Amino acid sequence: MWIDTHCHLDAPEFGADHALAFSLRELAAARGVGRCVIPAVARSNFETVRLLAQRLGDAYAVGIHPLCVPGASEDDLAALDAALTEHRDDPRLVAVGEIGLDFFVPELCTSEMRERQDFFYRAQLRLARKHGLPVIVHVRRSADKLLKHLRELPVGGIAHAFNGSEQQAQAFIDLGFKLGFGGASTFEPARQLRRLAAELPLSALVMETDSPDIPPQWLYVTAAERAAGRVQGINSPAELPRIGAEVAALRGVPVDELMRASTANAWAALPRLKALT
Ligand SMILES: [Zn+2]
């Protein structure tokens, strides 16, 4: 089976009452996706992802996303600590996430916002250590800083939608991390990313869709096509097996081999996932 290690099935794109999430999750299951991990992004959806994971038979993570840091307060860190304590015996709670640093979005790059991101990221690394959970990190133009904090506050996990250099990939691997690959690696112009997907040790890879974001090439519609009325297909865990087939082809290995290895890697990065299976 495949594991989608990162999908935001509670996103509004999946409809009121998550109706579309249920039908697409069923389609994903029919295509061999055995488990999904639904990360939270802010205090306001900690409960949503927990309940949704329960209803779908999937797993979840709770954390404050760097893009949500501007709207977050220290109270939210206390709420995160409380949620991690309250649900500590919930086998579906597999990580602290989605946390991290984003130095791509201009509003998050002021010196004040960088400091604030550092503060929330470090506080959440401490909570992950306190509760004995791995982390799911968002890395965008921030790998070196993320790694620096991880060396000071070591904890394992997944660097999701990884898109850094080979050296940065190796640094994450040295810290015991797995690297998440998804739809971005299906685009031919993404040469460096495709080379990483092809050449990194198989033991370092996990698969993800980041749905509804990061659509694979076959769902992507350009701005011009959108203007002409073409609708972009919705990215969902149902796309994961086809993304996996592309990555397997890049590596020149049978799809089954990539599936088995990436699933074992996901279990290694998120040990509670395995117990859930
Ligand atoms: Zn995400």
Whole-number Å distance, alpha carbon 209 to ligand 1 midpoint, is 9
Give tens-digit pLDDT for 220-270. 988 899 899 888 889 999 999 999 999 999 999 999 999 999 999 999 999
Whole-number Å distance, alpha carbon 156 to ligand 1 midpoint, is 17
Whole-number Å distance, alpha carbon 151 to ligand 1 midpoint, is 23
Which burial class, exposed, middle or buried, applies to 244 when counting CB atoms under 10 A from its CB (0-12, 13-18, 19+)? buried
**How many other CB atoms sit within 10 Å of the CB of residue 151?**
11
Cis peptide before 115 (omega within 30 of 0): no
pLDDT at 27 over 90: yes
pLDDT score of 232: 81
Whole-number Å distance, alpha carbon 59 to ligand 1 midpoint, is 14
pLDDT score of 130: 98
Whole-number Å distance, alpha carbon 97 to ligand 1 midpoint, is 9
Give the mean model confidence (pLDDT) for residues 173-192.
Answer: 96
Whole-number Å distance, alpha carbon 189 to ligand 1 midpoint, is 22
pLDDT score of 35: 98
Give tens-digit pLDDT for 51-110. 999 999 999 999 999 999 999 999 999 999 999 999 999 999 999 999 999 999 999 999
pLDDT score of 16: 86
pLDDT at 273 over 90: yes
The C-alpha atoms of residue 146 and residue 139 are separated, in whole angstroms, by 7
Q: How far is CA 15 from the centre of its chain?
A: 21
Whole-number Å distance, alpha carbon 86 to ligand 1 midpoint, is 24
pLDDT score of 277: 77
Give tens-digit pLDDT for 45-67. 999 999 999 999 999 999 999 99
pLDDT score of 233: 84
pLDDT at 149 over 80: yes
Give the mean model confidence (pLDDT) for residues 123-151.
Answer: 97
Whole-number Å distance, alpha carbon 67 to ligand 1 midpoint, is 10
Q: Output the CA torsion 225→19→6→197 (10° steps).
A: -40
pLDDT score of 223: 87
Residues in the 5 Å CB sphere of ion ligand 1? 98
Whole-number Å distance, alpha carbon 7 to ligand 1 midpoint, is 7
Whole-number Å distance, alpha carbon 275 to ligand 1 midpoint, is 23
The C-alpha atoms of residue 79 and residue 87 are separated, in whole angstroms, by 12
